[in-house]
Structure 1
Amino acid sequence: MGDYNTNQDGGCEEVLQGTVLIAGGGPVGLLLARVLSFYGVRSILFERNKTTTSWPKMDLTNARSMELFRKIGLADDLRRQGVPPHLDQHVLISSGLSVKEPLTRWDLPGVDKFRQLIEEVNDGSQPREPWQRMSQAIFERWLRAICDRDPLIDLHYGWRVDNVQETDDHVRTIVVNCDTGVTKTYVTDFVAGCDGASSKVRRSLQIPIDGGPIPACALLVHFKSRDLQRLHKQGRFWHIFFLQPHGGFGAAIIAQDEVETFTVHLFLPLDVDTDKIESKDAVYRALGGIYDDFHIEIDEILVRSVWRPNIAITRTWHGPHHRIFLAGDAAHQNIPTGGYGMNMGIGDAFDLGWKLAAVINGNDGKGLLTSYELERRPVAMRNVEHSGVHFKVHQDLEAIINGGDPKRVDATTEEGIALREKIHNHYQQHDGENKDLGIEMGYRYDSPVIIRDPGEREPPWDVRRFTPTTWPGSRAPSLFLSDGSAIYDKFGKHWTLLSFTATECGKDHMVHAALKQRLVLDVVDLSREDHARAIYEKPLVLIRPDQHVAWRAYSLENLETAMKILETVSGRVEDSPPIMKQQEHVACAFTSTSQTRSQVDEFSLERMGDFQR
């Protein structure tokens, strides 16, 4: 437990200096606490619910997120909680389970096959870790148990954050016990709002959020069934997307654990009274597709809810004094297609965590905290928009069928054959959902703590593929060295300087500069690694704690230059370039050209309007 005094009848609680107060005990808040602890920083977390979630929500921890879990030593344990690695994760597009075959399918590899691909394709284009399927309900229980055992993390479930007030040197947070109504005030150096889409932290700061729900709702039914013979009638699956009687996409089923747990999402018009739809009937209707209800044996209904897809971005992610920050759904919301929401939250938590820890520990400057929004918000804007792109792939089914009786898709007529071919081609040409590695791993940060050679042009970016490059701001390429070890496993806990040459290139200047600035720097000699040297492009490459490249060069001239480089990338430079100037080079998926932040906002909100209509 945290080393501070409590007052049972309310009052003000002054916690230890450097403690971070976290609002929200979902995956983002719990992971942030763990990242802070990894770097030796205390946190105190408040979650209004008494237990972790029962809702399935996220069901895929993507490859980039797994790399971050590997960094803090949790990847292998996480995998033990999830779907076994030998099982592939096929996605079916179906007109209903009463039909013998699906209309088409995406064949996605399980962990074992994905890992084999990573080992075979050693060109820097692959992630270090495969993805991992796991329901959020399991994910949260697992991560909470880890945090419960951590002496640097103090968890308070059944307490809600009611209000935050930021000053130039501290934050006052009011928390309320959800059972007794007892109110307490905590004074901390920093607060992280990881408290979801209805964030009290964001509301306290009166930060606007742009966007909102699209005109549809979904009835979610989470249930157990051992009737696998009927559920697997068209083959084992991870997802099945179903056509519905209106002639377009309207339902999905997700296999959560490959044993007995499933989730159905039945999309409905807003004016439907969902209270009149029984949970089992919703499952039968979804599985029936364009045909009559398809009945299965349901052993237990676990939970049910009605939810609306949202496309939204918070305008700013921090308070005016950079002591309060937003992360996860408090900062961005998206349609679930692509699985970006939870995985973006994981990225937020890691980025905010290492930066807060670096500032609290005195290793780095407050410019790092300014860089949090500058780096993460463009990623969220692009991914939120791209989740809508994936959703539209399914929405386009209605236009492909183009009216009439949708059962035509299964007819043996020429028209039926042609329709099935058209649907098949559509899905095979637009199969980026869970496969667009450019989106998941290829985001390139741009902020005052990234140093680039102004004479160099940015490498091409592809939504589908990760382009191996050490262009500063990029995620460093993952590959295996000549002895079979992974280059990522050579990276230090904090900062890492990779040296790909045995000749004098000035790396000692960087070492001396780090000592003078008390910056923890690991130096890795890779001078004999010809393959890695070709992919990493420059003899000297400086890697941040989050595996992104901060700076690179052919050589380093002197100690003074090395000092300036480290002062800049660690956020200690007071005269950083103007924020808008830095944002002019944000690489994002909205257009093929660079845009200022205001242009990105305008474009993104325009696309949000398209999806909402």
Structure 2
Amino acid sequence: MGSIKLPSETEILIVGGGPVGMFAAFRLARLGQSCVLVEKNTYTTVHPKMEYTSFRTMEIYRHIGLIDHILPHGVPETFPMDDIYATGLGDKNFPEPIARIDTPSAVKLRKIWAQSNDGSHPREPSMRQSQIIFEKLMKTLVEKEPLVHAYWGYSLESLIEDDGLVSSTIVGSSGDPTVIKSRYVIGPLELAYVHFRTKEYEKMQSKGNFWHLTMVNGVLVVAQDEIDTYTVHRIVPPGVSFDMEKPVEFINDSLGGIGGHFEVTVDEVIAHGKWRSELATSESFRSRKGRIFLAGDSAHQLSPVGGHGMNSGIQDAYDLSWKLAAVLHGWGGKALLDSYDRERRPVAELNKRMAVKATMEVAIPRLTKAQEIGMDNLNADTEYGQRCREELRDFVLPGRWIHDQDGTKMGYRYNDSPIIIPDPSTPEPPTSITKYFPSTWPGARAPHVFLSDGKTSIFDLYGPGFTIVDFTDAGKASEMFVTAASKLSIPITRVHLPKEAHCKAIWERDVVLVRPDGFVAWRSPLQEAEEAGPGEIQKVLLFVAGRSG
């Protein structure tokens, strides 16, 4: 490892080869931008961490051509994403679940969404896939990208930032330091469970098929692949030690819930350890001198409740990568990089609030309520026991919103962005945790709608740069955008849809300018779009490309 010669300079250095770092490298390469990635480990993670990829992240994977590499290795789309709430596994526990929260499979959701086609649904359903699998896939893909120069077994020792460059000292296993000079640095940093395999599927699923099995005493079991891989999480009270040398005993003690020890044959302990649920957001996602950017865990650490953690990090990288590439390719201006913190930090704060809300209003109260009712009462095969279980069920079911956060995950808007042109002609659309209101309000995610052929999504017509969508018959406005963008060397794709009345009704305007990340940068006023002249269109393009200052 020490004999490998690292480069002495690069335009972008990515520190950390976790999911966010590798995604950023892959995205930059697809935008034609080279980078260097260093990761202290020589292997990808063996810790389960994340097993849920949100529909917004799946849309991103689709847009950049990643989904065909990732989706076949997730849990098959025929499986639902059900949550079960029970006393535990085994004969010492009440045989039926206390509550079940059903979520349709991705196959069913695709059919439901296609029939509705009202713009309120994502282009892709969520996916169940362990971070272990995701990182292995991404490492293979990153190593195939000629514009990504990845070095495993190298860590960042220190860095010095001045107004022109960042000097990063990188150290490998030999201990010899190498200084890499770069224009920019992306720095995702780092942060009781047992991850295991068992062939005893019927015993594990004896309460019914599940994605999450939550027990009344706070144990959480995650079915990772619908085959043989599970993760057990258990709350460890302060001052109580968990014997890391006996993970099988921990598994069997945990699976029994309040009924006590429940024996399953553990074929393999893949990983075990501890993590701390932290909720923090960096004061800034960019260094004072402007050349170091934070993404993922270095920018925000979120509780896993609600599934915002890694998904937020991927979305950070998606936002940042096109802006860095634009600046380095010469068509993006200073305001693009200024916008990163102003766009992504409020989203991280929103996700932090949602994680706190889910923890304080759902996860902890469920456990407290179960303790209040009494574990023996919940397990009793009596009429009173049944009433106790029904009481807890009625308490548990309203908390299903933590898995139904369509509004949080698709409805956030970049209202304070310096590269978004506001539309004062109409009120801002409403917001909701669970419901997404489709809109092309500037700063919002442009809605996914199938066109009149029932197969083509407007989402799939976006180009790698800006996309100008024109619903007018003549299409003159979009032609003028293309002409102006060409003169300014701004990449743009023209999508002319003169006969798509249904899509136009959802998109609300004649002409809409969509950014490389699928968010609306500008939309035409309510009057005829052709009224905009070449001079005004040029001003729009310069502003959204960060070059108006």
Give TM class, smaller chain: over 0.9
**Paired residues for 1:165-184 under 5 Å:** 165-177=160-172, 179-184=173-178
Q: CA deviation at 1:69?
A: 0.5
Paired letter, 1:150: E
Q: CA deviation at 1:345?
A: 0.6
Is residue 190 from structure 1 mapped to residue 206 from structure 2 by the alignment? no
Q: CA deviation at 1:93?
A: 0.7
Paired letter, 2:358: H
Is residue 20 from structure 1 mapped to residue 15 from structure 2 by the alignment? no
- Which of residues 67, 70, 73 is equivalent to 2:59? 67
Deviation by residue 1:575-598 (Cα, 9 ceiling, x = unmatched): xxxxxxxxxxxxxxxxxxxxxxxx
Q: Is the 8 A contact 1:56 1:136 kept in 2?
A: yes
Deviation by residue 1:400-424 (Cα, 9 ceiling, x = unmatched): 3463632212435554333322322
- Which of residues 116, 135, 141 is equivalent to 1:140? 135
SS at match of 1:431: helix
- Matches of 2:253 and 2:142 in 1, distance apart? 41
Paired letter, 1:224: R
Unaligned runs of 5+ in 1: 1-5, 198-218, 245-249, 575-613
Residue in structure 2 matched with residue 3 of structure 1 by the alignment: none
Q: CA deviation at 1:8?
A: 5.9
Residue in structure 2 matched with residue 114 of structure 1 by the alignment: 109
Residue in structure 2 matched with residue 36 of structure 1 by the alignment: 28
- Matches of 1:364 and 1:276 in 2, distance apart? 51
Q: Is the 8 A contact 1:24 1:193 kept in 2?
A: yes
Residue in structure 1 matched with residue 413 of structure 2 by the alignment: 444
Residue in structure 2 matched with residue 424 of structure 1 by the alignment: 393
Is residue 86 from structure 1 mapped to residue 81 from structure 2 by the alignment? no
- Matches of 1:538 and 1:9 in 2, distance apart? 55
Is residue 469 from structure 1 mapped to residue 459 from structure 2 by the alignment? no
Q: Is the 8 A contact 2:423 2:441 kept in 1?
A: no
Q: Is the 8 A contact 2:504 2:510 kept in 1?
A: yes
Paired letter, 2:418: P
Residue in structure 2 matched with residue 232 of structure 1 by the alignment: 205
Q: CA deviation at 1:339?
A: 1.1
Q: CA deviation at 1:86?
A: 1.1
Q: CA deviation at 1:477?
A: 0.4
Q: Is the 8 A contact 1:499 1:507 kept in 2?
A: yes
SS at match of 1:430: helix
- Matches of 2:373 and 2:136 in 1, distance apart? 48
- Which of residues 83, 98, 101 is equivalent to 2:96? 101
Is residue 562 from structure 1 mapped to residue 534 from structure 2 by the alignment? no
Residue in structure 1 matched with residue 459 of structure 2 by the alignment: 488
Residue in structure 1 matched with residue 346 of structure 2 by the alignment: 378
Paired letter, 1:429: P
Paired letter, 1:243: V
- Matches of 1:438 and 1:334 in 2, distance apart? 18
SS at match of 1:22: strand
Q: CA deviation at 1:94?
A: 1.0
Q: Is the 8 A contact 2:34 2:148 kept in 1?
A: yes
Q: Is the 8 A contact 1:196 1:328 kept in 2?
A: no
Q: Is the 8 A contact 2:86 2:99 kept in 1?
A: yes
Paired letter, 1:537: E
Residue in structure 1 matched with residue 423 of structure 2 by the alignment: 453
Is residue 292 from structure 1 mapped to residue 260 from structure 2 by the alignment? yes
Paired letter, 2:9: V
Residue in structure 2 matched with residue 222 of structure 1 by the alignment: 195
Change (3 A) 1:51 1:527: same
- Which of residues 212, 232, 235 is equivalent to 1:264? 232
Q: CA deviation at 1:303?
A: 1.1
Residue in structure 2 matched with residue 515 of structure 1 by the alignment: 486
SS at match of 2:17: coil
Q: Is the 8 A contact 1:491 1:522 kept in 2?
A: yes
| Matched length | 539
- Which of residues 266, 290, 293 is equivalent to 1:325? 293
Residue in structure 1 matched with residue 155 of structure 2 by the alignment: 160
- Matches of 2:269 and 2:532 in 1, distance apart? 67
SS at match of 2:36: strand
Is residue 76 from structure 1 mapped to residue 68 from structure 2 by the alignment? yes
Change (3 A) 1:398 1:81: closer
Q: Is the 8 A contact 1:354 1:545 kept in 2?
A: yes
SS at match of 1:189: strand
TM-score where L is the length of structure 1: 0.85
Q: Is the 8 A contact 1:494 1:521 kept in 2?
A: yes
- Matches of 1:276 and 1:302 in 2, distance apart? 13
Paired letter, 2:399: H
Paired letter, 1:221: V
SS at match of 1:20: strand
Q: CA deviation at 1:361?
A: 0.8
Deviation by residue 1:170-193 (Cα, 9 ceiling, x = unmatched): 11111111x211101001111100
- Matches of 1:461 and 1:511 in 2, distance apart? 33
Is residue 306 from structure 1 mapped to residue 274 from structure 2 by the alignment? yes
Q: CA deviation at 1:391?
A: 2.2
SS at match of 1:307: coil
- Matches of 1:194 and 1:362 in 2, distance apart? 26
Q: Is the 8 A contact 1:25 1:195 kept in 2?
A: no
Residue in structure 2 matched with residue 573 of structure 1 by the alignment: 548
Change (3 A) 1:150 1:277: closer
What is the RMSD of the two structures over their aligned residues, measured on CA atoms? 1.8
Change (3 A) 1:427 1:120: farther
Q: CA deviation at 1:7?
A: 10
Q: Is the 8 A contact 2:366 2:396 kept in 1?
A: no
SS at match of 1:310: coil
Is residue 529 from structure 1 mapped to residue 497 from structure 2 by the alignment? no
